[in-house]
Amino acid sequence: MSVAHYQGLDIPNHKERTRAQPISTIPSPPQFILPLNQHRGSTLIPCVNTGERVHKEQVIASPKNPLEANLHSPVSGTIIAIEPRPSAASISNETLSIVLANDFQDSSVPTMACLNWSALDSHQLCEQLAKGGIVGLGGASFSLARKLAAHPDHNINQLIINGVECEPFITCDDQLMREHAMEIIHGIQIIQLATKATHVTIAIESNKPEAIYAIQEALHSLNNLDIALRIIESTYPSGDEGQLITKVTGLELPSGKLPAEIGVIVSNVSTIYACSRWILHSEPLISRIVTVTGQCISNPGNYLVQIGTPIEHILQHCGATLTSKQKLIIGGAMMGQTLPHSNFPLTKAINCIILSDDRELKTETVEQPCIRCGECAQACPAQLLPQLLLTYSKQGNSDALTELGLYDCIECGNCDYLCPSNIQLATRFRAAKRKT
């Protein structure tokens, strides 16, 4: 089966609870926890000490590589510890984190105002994006600057702005496009300059008519813009990078290749919006929009939340407390991860928090033996054989796993969703990738 002909799954989207909920703000907590592994790449190095006072938006940790993203203080206050704490980027191990006591003064120092961004060359623009702490906010959390700068030898023909948001439960990108379409278009102009892309396409799933309308209106009001809008059929996982490239360009992303190697860059609408806030308004990435939803949340919605806010604080604000019968998931029901407790902080990568129980999601899944039904292979958008990958992951046979395409697994969770034996295939594949 060709990737181009993969139809995707028609699964319940569970978006009704938060769809069309205007973005509101969760008040600052008294204490923030800021893990130093906010994005994929090397761990950040703190540039503050315990006991030091910091201002809002001050850089508190920076990378060795100038193309990786800074970490900024979300509020003013005092650093009370730099020590290992739980982090969703590495659930089984604690991660060195900066712990900040909020003084509720919000005192800030002026940050860079990039007054003439259009005069910068690609490399200078990328460095500015890294200074602003911009990482991919669609879940992958790569440093945006590093992603954009990774293509100096390739001509970028297509810049694809991903507003598909196919993952069930999540509506933060939908709401962002409805409320901030013009800023997204301005952000696209910045990234187009950084990539020198000749064609730009915004892709939005067909089940978001209000977002489509808002983007269309913004494009019309800025006529002469050569930006195409592409409506993508609503199936899962149509927003996956490889799937989307094929849908928009007809190209297939070869195994092991980066999109830039076939002349394409894909970036999420939330990331583009963050670029616009930083380059045009000098606001570094200290907060993001998060969908908080699920059967056990009294006040579900799309919230602007400061990075480092404890998930416990977010749940309290939304009228919920985690109990032993519930399941706490970050990042979506299909591709997300289950957290063992709520003492994790919000990191830049977390776009959704779900608190649910067995009325809505399987909270207890006792795995049964594989019955070789083949459902998992039928559902795999990467054309893998999950049943065989399962066998070799149990054996720890990394050579066979690599040969069978483990690294092409996009961790979409389709195989888990359809498996009649409740086998958590995607979770195993994620773990196997980290080991091999």
CA distance 247 to 250: 6
Reported in sequence order, the residue ranges of 55-153 that DSSP labels E, i.e. its strands, are 59-62, 71-72, 77-85, 95-102
Task: Please report whether residue 166 would count as binding ligand SF4 according to CB under 6 A.
Answer: no
Task: Please report whether residue 434 would count as binding ligand SF4 according to CB under 6 A.
Answer: no
- Select 47 or 385, whichever has its Cβ closest to ligand SF4: 385
Q: Please list the residues that pair with 202 across neighbouring strands.
A: 161, 229
User: According to CB under 6 A, which one of 69, 350, 419, 432 is a site residue for ligand SF4?
Assistant: 419
Among candidate residues 203, 206, 248, 199, the one with its CA nearest the CA of residue 227: 199
CB of 402 to ligand SF4, least distance (A): 14
Q: Which of residues 369-408 bind ligand SF4 (CB under 6 A)?
A: 370-376, 379-382, 384, 386-387, 390
CB of 367 to ligand SF4, least distance (A): 9
CA distance 75 to 26: 14
Q: Is 419 left (phi over 0), alpha (psi -120 to 50) or beta?
A: beta
CB of 225 to ligand SF4, least distance (A): 35
Angle at Cα 35 formed by Cα 290 and Cα 433, nearest 5°? Answer: 85
Q: Coil, strand or helix: which one is 49?
A: coil
Task: Please report whether residue 336 would count as binding ligand SF4 according to CB under 6 A.
Answer: no
- Select 216 or 391, whichever has its Cβ closest to ligand SF4: 391
| Element counts in the chain: helices (H) and strands (E) | 13, 17
The site string for ligand SF4 over 337-376 (x = CB under 6 A, - otherwise) reads ---------------------------------xxxxxxx
Q: Which residues contact 203 (CB under 8 A, 6 or more apart)?
A: 160, 161, 162, 163, 164, 230, 231, 232, 239, 244, 247, 248
CB of 350 to ligand SF4, least distance (A): 20
User: 11-16: long-range contacts (C-beta < 8 A, 24 or more apart)?
Assistant: 11/168, 11/236, 11/334, 11/417, 12/168, 13/168, 13/169, 13/207, 13/234, 14/168, 14/169, 14/293, 14/333, 14/360, 15/168, 15/169, 15/170, 15/171, 15/174, 15/207
User: According to CB under 6 A, which one of 87, 246, 302, 414 is a site residue for ligand SF4?
Assistant: 414
Q: How are strands ordered across the β-sheet holding 301-306?
A: 24-25, 301-306, 287-293, 352-356, 327-330, 337-339
Task: Please report whether residue 272 would count as binding ligand SF4 according to CB under 6 A.
Answer: no
CB of 253 to ligand SF4, least distance (A): 13
Stretch that binds ligand SF4, among 43-51, 90-98, 110-118, 413-421 (CB under 6 A): 413-421
Task: Please report whether residue 238 would count as binding ligand SF4 according to CB under 6 A.
Answer: no
- Select 70 or 246, whichever has its Cβ closest to ligand SF4: 246
Task: Please report whether residue 253 would count as binding ligand SF4 according to CB under 6 A.
Answer: no
- Select 229 or 385, whichever has its Cβ closest to ligand SF4: 385
CB of 363 to ligand SF4, least distance (A): 19
Task: Please report whether residue 59 would count as binding ligand SF4 according to CB under 6 A.
Answer: no
CB of 361 to ligand SF4, least distance (A): 17
Among candidate residues 335, 376, 388, 154, the one with its CA nearest the CA of residue 257: 154
DSSP symbol at 335: T
CB of 169 to ligand SF4, least distance (A): 18
Count of residues of this chain found to bind ligand SF4 when the rule CB under 6 A is applied? 30
CB of 334 to ligand SF4, least distance (A): 9
Element (H, E) at 202: strand 199-205
User: According to CB under 6 A, which one of 95, 218, 429, 432 is a site residue for ligand SF4?
Assistant: 429
Binding site for ligand SF4 (CB under 6 A): 370-376, 379-382, 384, 386-387, 390, 409-415, 418-421, 423, 425-426, 429
